[in-house]
Structure 1
Amino acid sequence: MKIFDKISKYVTHAAGRPAAFITAFSVIVVWGITGPIFKYSDTWQLVINTGTTIITFLMVFVIQQSQNRDTLALQLKLNELIASQENASNRLVDVEDLTEDELVVLKKFYIELSALAKKEKDLYGSHSIDDAVRVHTAKRKRKSSPKGGVEQSPQ
C-alpha cells in the first residue's frame, strides 16, 4: 500500500501541474494534425479513444486515493479544532461517520440553534439549544419585568 500511496501522491501532484495540461493538449493537437495523414481512419480514432480511456480509468483511482487522504487529513484537523475549544460541542467530532438520517437530525438541530441565535443577535452566547432557549427565556423575562429588567420581589 505504501508504494501506491507514493505513486498516487506523485501522479496527483504531477497531473495538477501546468506541464501536464500542456502535454495533454499537445498530444490532442498532434493527433488532430495527423488526421488528414491517416485519412481520419478508424485506427486513427481508436488510438486517441483508447489512450484517453486508459488514462482516465487509471486517474480515477489515483485521484480518489489522493482525495480520500486529503479528506481524512482535513477531518482530523477539524476534529482537533473542535476538541481544543472549551465551549465547542464534541458531538461533531467524527460527524462524517453518521448515517444520512443522523445527519438530517443534526442539521435540524443547527437550523433551530441558528434561529435562536438570530433572535438573540449574539453569536457567542450559547452553544446548545438548551442554552439558547434558557438565555432567550431569561432575556424575555427581564424585558417584561418592571424597572429595567430587575424583578421586584413581592412584599
Structure 2
Amino acid sequence: MPLQAAYSSFSRAASRLCGRPAAFVLACGVVVAWALTGPLFGFSDTWQLVINTGTTIVTFLMVFLIQNAQSRDTEAIQVKLDELIRATQGAHNVLLDVEDLGEEALDKLRTQYVNLAQSARDDAAPATDDERDAASTRQPAS
C-alpha cells in the first residue's frame, strides 16, 4: 500500500474515532485522573509537565488529522458542486473548478455575481411609498 493511501486510510479511521463521544469522555477521564493524582505527586513540576507534554503532542497530531479531513471533505464537495454545475442547463461552466483560480480571477467573478445579485434585487424590490401613492391615484383603465 503506498504511503499516501496508508495515511489517507489511517486519517479517515482516526478522524472517525476521535470525533466520537467516547473519545471525548476518554480525554476528560485522562484529565480528571491527572488532576486527582496532583496531591499524590505534590503538584510538582513533573506532574504538570506530563499533562502539558501529552496535550501538546495530541494537539499537534490532531491538527494534521483535522486538516486532512477538511481537505478531503472540501474536495468532495467541490466535485459534487462541479457535477451540479455541469448537469444544470444554463449554468456557467466557467465555474467548474473555480476554486483553482487565482485571487484576481476569483475577485473578477465574484464582482460579476455580486452585480447580478444586486440587479436581481433591484428588479424584485417593492415599489417605494411615492410609487404606491401615485399608482393608487391613477384611474383604472376602462
Answer yes or no: is 1:18 the counterpart of 2:35. Answer: no
Q: How far apart are 1:119 and its partner, in Å?
A: 2.7
Moved over 2 A (4+): none
Matched, 1:97 2:86: no
TM-score norm. by structure 1 comes to 0.75
Residue matched to 1:87: 90
Q: Distance in 2 between matches of 1:112 and 1:2?
A: 44
Gaps of 5+ in 1: 122-155
Structure 1 segment 5-84 matched on structure 2, within 5 A: 5-84=8-87
Q: Deviations over 1:3-28 (max 9, x none)?
A: 11111001000010000000001101
* Bigger helix share: 2
For 2:121 and 2:65, the matched residues in 1 are separated by 44
Match of 1:109 in 2: 112
* Superposition TM-score, scaled by structure 2 size: 0.82
Could you tell me which amino acid in structure 1 is paired with residue 117 of structure 2? S
Greater mean alpha carbon deviation, residues 13-22 or residues 89-98: 89-98
Q: Root-mean-square deviation (CA), in Å?
A: 1.3
Distance across 1 between alignment mates of 2:77 and 2:114: 24
- In structure 2, what residue type is equivalent to 1:81? L
How many residues are paired up?
122
Letter of the structure 2 residue corresponding to residue 58 of structure 1: L
1:120 CA displacement: 2.7
Paired with 1:114 and 1:73, the residues of 2 have a C-alpha distance of 27
Q: Which runs of no fewer than 5 residues in structure 2 stay unpaired?
A: 125-142
Deviation at 1:90, TM superposition (A): 1.0
Q: What's the % identity of the aligned pairs? A: 51
After TM superposition, give the deviation of residue 36 of structure 1 in Å.
1.0
